[in-house]
Amino acid sequence: MLTASINMEALLVLVMMVFLVMVLLVKVCVYRVGFHTVITQVFFVDIDECANSTMNNCDPNNGFCTNTEGSFNCSCIGGYSGDGITCIGESTIM
């Protein structure tokens, strides 16, 4: 019974230590990436949304995608303007 009791205490200490480390990790990461944080970003698991066109909404023809930590940015290629999601030709020389 004594060994079982000690093991329970050790387990409790281990669980508490893991919990504390997780809390610390989350705090550090939230501070770093700001308040617009989801679970995947908290643990710095960045998804490269630009690797697959189904994961970003950038203009597939006249825009391009830039991967960022926890997000991505859409921009227009040269000669086109817009928000990166919809890029329209600035001018057409007749």
Q: Contact residues for Ca ion (CB under 5 A)?
A: 46, 67, 72
Coil, strand or helix at 7: helix
Q: Which two tokens stand for residue 30?
A: 């939230």
- Shortest distance, position 52 Cβ to Ca ion, whole Å: 11
Query: Which residue number, 58 or 72, has a Cβ lying nearer to Ca ion?
Result: 72
Query: Which residue number, 46 or 81, has a Cβ lying nearer to Ca ion?
Result: 46
Contacts of 37 (CB under 8 A, 6+ apart): 29, 30, 70
- Shortest distance, position 73 Cβ to Ca ion, whole Å: 9
- Shortest distance, position 30 Cβ to Ca ion, whole Å: 17
Query: Which residue number, 26 or 47, has a Cβ lying nearer to Ca ion?
Result: 47
- Shortest distance, position 80 Cβ to Ca ion, whole Å: 23
Query: Which residue number, 72 or 76, has a Cβ lying nearer to Ca ion?
Result: 72
DSSP state letters, 22-82: HHHHHHHHHHHH-S---HHHHTT----GGGSGGG--S-TTTEEEEEETTEEEEEEPTTEEE
